[in-house]
Amino acid sequence: MLNEQQLQQPTEFEKTILDLFKRLSVCLLIIGRRGSGKTDIGLLIAEILHRFNVIQHFASNIRIFKSAFEIEYITNLDDLRSWCVNRKGRKLFILDEAGKTLRRRTPMSSLNIKLLDDLQILRKYKLSLILIAPHEKYIDNATLGSDVLDARIIKNPWNPKIALYVDYFRSTPIEFYDVPRTSVKFDTWDVAPFTEHGPKQKPKFKDRDLEILWDWSHGATVKDLGLHPQQINRLCRKFIREVLEREHHTSHTRAGGDI
């Protein structure tokens, strides 16, 4: 029977991951087709880092059902910033569907620019990042530079146990043929879009009309609200008129006070 020390001996794959994360802050890209196990291997890496006590705090936009260690659910940049600043020690964030966040087609989008800028700052808070996408062609080119990315893992499209590991600081790629499944239970289909800001809290309105306008301006349809389009038009006219009259009154009051 194996003793505890033997059980803790890392496999070759685990040794490679532990060697990569000797760097204080790591950015790792995992790519592979649907069903290749790219999300699974991302969570396996988190599991390895937890088991060997390399990283203390974990978060992701993946919906987790069951895990032996805490993986916080973070879906926006505001919360990620707060999490990094308020957690001591090393941290790992797993961003699934990264191609939908750091889109190559919109390299100058507000989220792309702020996320790339913030990554450089947040890495000072000992943040490591795993990006998961079907192919690197979906990711903003700026993310793929060696000044940001440390390594990548390419999953075999036909066998989820096979993975190619490429480290930008090593000359020779390594292929692994027996990568195990993670013990973390997660929802493959429930990956939240990563946004710049979290959802806004709905204010409490005394005026029912203002509550309707708030819901409508935040995406509710007239059908959702049980209203006729003309009713929304009348509410908009009423609100705009009140705002303009209030501004007109305020500007006259200011002008009178300057005399």
CB atoms < 10 A from the CB of 48, how many? Answer: 21
| Confidence band of 257 (pLDDT split at 50, 70, 90) | low
> Residue 167 corresponds to which tokens in the numbers above?
């480290």
Which residues partner with 131 through β-bridges? Answer: 29, 95
Q: Provide φ and ψ at 46, rounded to 5°.
A: -60, -40
Number of helices and strands (H, E) in the chain? 9, 10
Predicted TM-score (pTM) of the model is: 0.71
Tell me how far apart the alpha carbons of residues 184 and 156 are, in angstroms, rounded to a whole number: 21
| Confidence band of 1 (pLDDT split at 50, 70, 90) | very low
Residue 108 has pLDDT above 90, yes or no: no
For 170-188, the pLDDT digits (tens) are 879 999 999 999 999 998 7
